Amino acid sequence: MKNKSLVSISDYTRDEILRILELAAFYEANPKQPELREKVIASLFFEPSTRTRLSFETAINRLGARVIGFTDSSSSSTTKGETLKDTIKMVSNYADLIVMRHPLEGSARYASEQSRVPIINAGDGANQHPTQTLLDLYSIQKTQGTLENLTVFMVGDLKYGRTVHSLLMALSHFNPVFYFVAPKELEMPCEYKAFLRERGIEFYEQKEMNNLEQADILYMTRVQKERFSDPMEYERVKNAYVLRNAMLDKTKENLKVLHPLPRVNEIHTDVDSSEKAYYFQQAENGVYTRMAIISAIMGLK
């Protein structure tokens, strides 16, 4: 992993994923580790993302490194027409590592080919967001004690949601059972179902939020209005994918509800007080996971 970019979750093997989770646990137990005191890390956000940026910058600060960069492209030379290639070539002369968020898909792979230093993809359009996937895995492992043989429900926008696609790929190393809960318009794409069939991984598709008593993990996502070609259809389905506290009554003790955030209304606020709600701790886990990723790439541990 040392000096290797992290662009897509498929860049990491099963063992490398487990290594990151082990390191994340170390940083959670020992969060103040100024091991990167001499280092400069660039944080290039070509589109704003407050949550991801603050999480990364917290991780960088906890490791003692300095941050340079910009928080949206209006304050970068992109507005003067500079190409991504030139920006990356220039910044990779200054920094030891680049964290990049960009609205175009494939930009992170391209940047990793142009850069002299490793790139961490903090989201490239609707394509990949591997650090989110790793923090999801860390949250799952931490709450379940294992990643193996879990039953995972994915609910909401399974068509466009990049977090569910990457999580599905990553969990495929650990013999899961999946339940996909989505309206017809937002079903899990065929290519992912074909991928699961090839690997002999069990999955079920359903239109409604039932069978929840099977679940170890309930992974909720946002159903966005703009994804529907027919606004009537959105009105018809939007309430079918809202989780309420009462629905958790008969679920397993160990069940945890995860959500990549920000949520809109798909998790009712009455769930927040449940022991099974885990989405805010999940966000906190992001800092330790990102410390682990940076540390592994910089070759600290």
Partner 1 sequence: MSKQKQLQVSAIENGTVIDHIPAESLFDVINILGLDQITNLITFGTNLDSDKLGKKAIIKVEGKFFEDNEINKISLVAPHVKLNIIRDYEVVEKRDVEIPDEVVGIVKCFNPKCITNNEVIKTHFKVMDKTDLALKCHYCEKNTTRDELKMM
Binding residues: 51-52, 80, 101, 129, 132, 162, 222, 261-262
163-192 footprint of partner 1 as x/- string (CB under 8 A): ----------------------------x-
Options 54, 68, 90, 126; binder of partner 1; rule CB under 8 A: 126
Characterize the bridge pairing of strands 66-70 and 40-45: parallel
Q: Rounded to 5 degrees, what angle do the CA atoms 240, 243, 244 make? A: 115
On whether the CB atoms of residues 297 and 6 are closer than 8 A, the answer is: yes
* One-letter amino acid for residue 13 of the chain: T
Buried b (16+ CB within 10 A) or exposed e, 24-37: bbbbbeeeeeebbe
Nearer to partner 1, 84 or 257 (CB): 84
Options 1, 6, 8, 255; binder of partner 1; rule CB under 8 A: 8
* 37 has catalytic annotation: no
Point out which span in 68-76, 99-107, 136-144, 149-157 binds partner 1 (CB under 8 A): 99-107
On whether the CB atoms of residues 209 and 155 are closer than 8 A, the answer is: yes
> Can residue 197 be called a binding residue for partner 1 (CB under 8 A)?
no
Q: Which tokens in the block code for residue 279?
A: 């989405």
**Strand, helix or coil for residue 44:** strand
For residue 184, how many other CB atoms are within 10 A of its CB? Answer: 9
Options 5, 43, 73, 107; binder of partner 1; rule CB under 8 A: 107
Closest by alpha carbon to 100, among 30, 210, 7? 7
Element containing residue 153 per DSSP (H, E): strand 151-155
Catalytic residue among 14, 51, 199, 236: 51
* 227 has catalytic annotation: no
* 116 has catalytic annotation: no
Q: What order do you get walking across the sheet with 119-124 strand by strand?
A: 66-70, 40-45, 97-102, 119-124
* 129 has catalytic annotation: yes
Catalytic residue among 52, 133, 221, 289: 52
Point out which span in 33-41, 91-99, 120-128, 176-184 binds partner 1 (CB under 8 A): 120-128
> Can residue 84 be called a binding residue for partner 1 (CB under 8 A)?
yes
| Residue position matching structure tokens 């304050």 | 75
Alpha carbons within 13 angstroms on the beta-carbon side of residue 267 total 24
* One-letter amino acid for residue 287 of the chain: V
* 165 has catalytic annotation: no
> Can residue 85 be called a binding residue for partner 1 (CB under 8 A)?
yes
22-61 footprint of partner 1 as x/- string (CB under 8 A): ----------------------------------------
Burial class (CB in 10 A: 0-12, 13-18, 19+), 117: buried
Point out which span in 82-90, 215-223, 276-284, 291-299 binds partner 1 (CB under 8 A): 82-90
Nearer to partner 1, 8 or 141 (CB): 8
Binding-site residues for carbamoyl phosphate, in ranges, read 51-52, 101, 129, 132, 261-262
> Can residue 83 be called a binding residue for partner 1 (CB under 8 A)?
yes
Q: Which tokens in the block code for residue 298?
A: 């910089």
Options 68, 104, 246, 264; binder of partner 1; rule CB under 8 A: 104
Options 13, 48, 94, 106; binder of partner 1; rule CB under 8 A: 106
Closest by alpha carbon to 161, among 194, 136, 198? 136
Q: Which residues are catalytic?
A: 51-52, 80, 101, 129
Binding site for partner 1 (CB under 8 A): 8, 83-85, 102-107, 109-110, 124-128, 191
